[in-house]
Chain A
Amino acid sequence: MPPRAPAMSQLSAGETQAVAAASEAAGPAQRSLFERDGNGIFLIGAKCGACGAVSFPLIAYGCPACGAAPSVLERHRLCGRGTVECAVTVHVSLSPALCPPRVIGRVRLEEGPEVEAALEFPIGHSAAFGSPVQIILAAASDASGSDPRLAFAPVLG
């Protein structure tokens, strides 16, 4: 059974409202990472015309796998689903961009690339190895007023 679209239902009412109000607004640095249509949020990666590697994100400098010139990279839409490879909770303030506690993990996307991202798991759910997840636009989880950010949330069902 294909996984159901995730996550918004697992956010609190306030968080849901915040995400809705954010419209398309992820942080400016993240706007090139995804696109959204009626079917959900998709990540924008690349497929290399030289070596065939699928990568994420689409990098302007060339293929991260084989070094081929960017002219041979094709824009490649990724479904945004994957499984958790590893996850840790950050307990101290390591950076202004990361307010603790925050769960950060690596997700193996269905198309192959492994990506590092914030994991938005509701209280009571642990970001266990192998958990199916899907990309969402998460509300800022703190009072910093920062933009919503892309994160992975558990897939239900």
Chain B
Amino acid sequence: MPAKLADLRPVRVVGIGLQPYSFPTGASYVELGVAAARIALADAGLIWEAVDSAIVGTASSGMGAGRAVTRHLGSTGLSVAVIENASASGSTAFRLACLEVASGISDIAIALGVDTYGGSVRRAADEDGIPRLAPAATLPVLEFALLADSYMRTYGIAPEALGSVAVKNHGNAARNPNAQFRKPRSLDQVMASQIVAGPLTALQCCPRGEGAAAVIVASDEAIGRHRLRKDRAVLVAASVSTSDIPVPEAWRAPIELTRRAVALALADCGICPDALELIELHDAFSVEELAYTEAMGLCGPGEGAALLASGDTAIGGRCAVNASGGLIGMGHPLGPTGVGQIAELTLQLRGEAAGRQHPARTGLAHMIGLGQVALVHVLRAPE
């Protein structure tokens, strides 16, 4: 039976760094990535020479991006690799960094997500040689608009319930200095924005942009050796990576994928959904947050809108969802996004999220990657 993260030696997040997500500024991916890494090193109280391995998550930076970024931090001979896993590129970089430390291969590893808007994102599915009936069949917005249509009909959900997700997440993003969108939005504004596809309006869709996020993970031995602050170190309690399996109705695929990945992660660290107090989830499109909170077990099928309306998923509620603003509000620059989720959970679990602090001891990060894959991590507050 395969091992789970909890079977290996403990891994803790010791440093985080972000470059604000934004519309294109003209900055290079190198500039963004190096800046985020330096902030993470300073946050941890580490020097670059202590880092054994760098995993760079990026979807558009091009071949050889790993050393193109890390050489400006120092040429120490560390292990460098680049991972691309669509929207989950950063989440996968974080997972691999954790596995390196947990396995003992590395003592300290950095996961660095970086992308610029001008980067050349090519969807591999567009070049898989399979003819398709639908024009633009592989576009995520289309897939999730169709999901929204089925979801709303199945559970009798009004379009405004989807819009309410965006209201909450834009409101949270307005309190996050690293978010791409910084304006609170009313339901009227969300619903009156440009209709994109089906029930999804523009303010219910995540923006693409640029940014960078870095997270440094370390073993307890390294934390002791480098005298790092354990009172700010966040335990990585579970790490799950999985991909879709056939479902009778295509629209349910990312929901079922989420249900399975989260159930595995919670089982791996021995907790139930009620123990979750903080979640950063893949809300590239508003309907996803409703469907995924149900799939994660926060409420029953079709009850996500009522859960949101109750205030349970607001900052200060029972389980804050997307306190960062999520992909809709904070933004979705691809490579950085999954790493940025971990940075947000770490900030919150340390009690350092000034302006949007939510009291929590246990948090979960969830990301879907086109195709589809799901990455889930569970983090616990410093002891």
Contacts and interface: CB of A to CB of B under 8 A. Distances in A.
Is chain B found bound to chain A in the same assembly? yes
Interface of A: 29-33, 57, 59-61, 65, 85-92, 94-95, 97-98, 102, 104-106, 114-118, 129, 149-151
A87 B136 CA distance: 14
B146 interface: yes
Q: Indicate the size class of the contact surface on chain B.
A: 20 to 34
A88 B131 contact: no
Task: Describe A's contact surface by its main secondary structure.
Answer: strand
Contacts of B194: 91-92
B197 A94 contact: yes
Interface string B55-67: 0000000000000
B64 to A, nearest CB: 29
A156 to B, nearest CB: 21
- Residue in B131, B141, B194, B246 whose Cβ sees the most chain A Cβ within 10 Å: B131
Contacts, number: 93
A134 B353 CA distance: 55
Nearest to B152: A86
Contacts of A102: 135
A115 B146 contact: no
A98 B135 CA distance: 6
27 contacts: A29-B131, A31-B131, A32-B131, A65-B246, A85-B251, A87-B146, A87-B149, A88-B198, A88-B199, A89-B197, A89-B198, A90-B196, A91-B194, A91-B196, A91-B197, A92-B194, A94-B142, A97-B136, A102-B135, A104-B134, A104-B136, A106-B250, A106-B251, A116-B137, A116-B250, A118-B135, A149-B135
Given A88-B149, A94-B136, A94-B139, A57 B198 contact: no
Contacts of B137: 116
A91 to B, nearest CB: 5
